[in-house]
Amino acid sequence: MRLSAFILANMEPILRDWEDFARSLGDITSSMDAAALRDHAELILQAVAADMETAQSPAQQKAKSLGKAPARPAHLPESAATSHGGVRAAEGFSLAQMVSEYRALRASVLRRWAEVQSTPDTDSYRELMRFNEAIDEALADSIQTYSHAVDQMVVSKGRHRMEMLGTVSAGLGHDMANVLMPMRVCLETLTDKRLPPESVPVVDALRRAVAHLGGLADGLRALSMDPENAASPDSTALHGWWVSAISPFTWALPKGVRLHAGSLDSDAAKALPPVRIPAHVLMQAVFNLVLNAGQAIGKREAASPRHAGRADADEPIGNIWITADLEPASPSYGGPRAVRLTVRDDGPGMDESTAARCTEAFFTTKTRSLGTGLGLYLVRTAVERHGGRLLVESKIGEGTSFTLLLPTTAAVQRPG
């Protein structure tokens, strides 16, 4: 009996084998009924039998054996195997579980056929070859659709999470602004009073911190907007920005981490043209980078204290450098030059794969209680929204550099 005819004549026993195997896959199939377990199995077997009965030249057979079967015409509906891959992905099957269904199907058909076969002949071997080719083609179709469906689900999930993030950001930014308003009033009231000299720097520092938080609130509200409309035309002079921004940076670093930012307080920094990014957005971006660098150094120190028992308690456990200079002329920024602002550390560094993914949304190497995987993503998107770029360089044991390439808004000034 020809194998193709055997498949059609013994469809129900083969389908029962498929169903029994699917039910053995564990929790994923525990609540599925017979129709869901069998899914497209009958249609797949019918297609396999029809394929085996289709005339095939030696050249076509060779191409098919090498996985070079003709593509399905676009006007035809998708095959049952193609549909099966998408359905199994939606049902939560792993790729290994779906592939194992085909392995079990192949074994069931061949075992049952062997039970009724007499001595195999040349035609039987040809039948086996055609059967295996047809099953492999069906499996390839299922895998392709399964992979596409999983990719789409990942994209959809990420989009949903970002939509939720936008909603939360808008609400949080609004609430922060409401809380900061009375704080500003209180600080202004304190400023009008005659404070002890030692209290004046504290109040000034608090005023700068509140101003920074106000900028963050604006940034959170902007995050919920359409990126095409969220960019602000504001510009920032790096030297003046750094004079007002330095306090939060020094407060946020772990003990023993030294911050070196002399180049931002130099004549060269004064001569840099303004960059096309609002001060609060720049603050948010650079603060994130410095905070990440400090945490990485602190984590390394906690895991392997290099300075345990050191005589000098003030000896640094790590360093962070912030530098700024001019990037060579680049037409991509719409101006004569771009400013290159770099945050570099001598921390533990990242391997190549981590460095390549570190600015993706929700990617983090921290425990979930410590990191959301959004910090570097927000830095990158904020910089890109204002026409810049974020570059990453890192090496295990040597440290990491994040460079913001920021477009300028004015011609270069030369020191007088």
Asked if the model's pLDDT at residue 47 lies above 60, the reply is yes
| Fold of the 3-160 domain | Globin-like (1.10.490)
Residue 221, pLDDT > 50, answer yes
Contacts for 290 with CB less than 8 Å, ≥ 6 apart: 249, 252, 253, 259, 320, 322, 343
* pLDDT for residue 391: 95
pLDDT above 70 (res 330): no
Does residue 312 carry a pLDDT above 80?
A: no
- Tell me the two tokens of residue 80: 């049952």
Contacts for 271 with CB less than 8 Å, ≥ 6 apart: 412, 413, 414, 415
Q: For residue 159, what are the contacts with CB-CB under 8 A and spacing of at least 6?
A: none
Q: What is the pLDDT of residue 69?
A: 60
Helix, strand, coil shares of the chain, percent, nearest 5, are 60, 10, 30
What pLDDT score was predicted for residue 64? 64
Q: Supply 102's token pair.
A: 């085909």
Q: How many residues does the chain have?
A: 416
- Across 180-184, 279-283, 381-385, least confident range: 180-184
Is the pLDDT confidence value at 76 over 50?
A: no
CB 174, CB 219: distance < 8 Å:
no
- Nearest by Cα to 177 from 227, 139, 215: 215
Q: Is the pTM of this model over 0.85?
A: no
Element housing 167 (H / E): helix 122-192
What does the pLDDT read at residue 55? Answer: 78
Average pLDDT over the chain reads 79
Q: Flag the least confident range among 6-10, 233-237, 238-242, 378-382.
A: 233-237
* 401 pLDDT above the threshold of 60: yes
Q: How confident is the model over 364-378, as a mean pLDDT?
A: 66
Dist. CA 284–CA 279, nearest whole Å: 9
- Give every CB contact of residue 365 below 8 A, 6+ residues apart in sequence: 354, 371
Q: Three-state SS string across 215-274, please? A: HHHHHHHHHCCCHHHHCCCCCECHHHHHHHHHHHHHHHCCCCEEEECHHHHCHHHHHCCC
| Domain 234-304+316-407 grouped into CATH 3.60.110.10 | no
The answer on pLDDT for 184 being more than 60 is yes
pLDDT above 50 (res 311): no
- Picking from 25-29, 97-101, 251-255, 389-393, which range would have the lowest pLDDT averaged per residue? 251-255
Domain ranges of the chain: 3-160, 234-304+316-407
Q: With beta carbons less than 8 A apart as the criterion, state whether 274 and 235 touch.
A: yes
Structure-model confidence comparison of residues 255 and 313, the more confident one: 255
Q: What average pLDDT does this structure show over 180-187?
A: 77
pLDDT for the residue numbered 107: 92
The answer on pLDDT for 193 being more than 90 is: no
Confidence of residue 339 (pLDDT cuts 50, 70, 90): very high
Give the pLDDT mean for 184-204.
80
Buried b (16+ CB within 10 A) or exposed e, 402-416: bbbbbbbbeeeeeee
Question: Which residues, listed in sequence order, are joined to residue 340 by a DSSP beta bridge?
Answer: 325, 405
pLDDT for 416: 44
Q: What is the pLDDT of residue 169?
A: 63
Between 124 and 222, whose confidence is greater? 124
pLDDT at 212 over 80: no
d(C-alpha 301, C-alpha 119), whole Å = 73
Is the Cα dihedral 102, 108, 109, 111 positive or negative? positive
- How many C-beta atoms lie closer than 10 Å to residue 358's C-beta? 21
Summarised one tens digit per residue, pLDDT across range 95-126 is 889 999 999 999 999 999 888 877 767 778 88
Which range in 142-146, 221-225, 328-332 is most confidently predicted, on average pLDDT?
A: 142-146
Q: Which residue has the higher pLDDT, 372 or 239?
A: 239
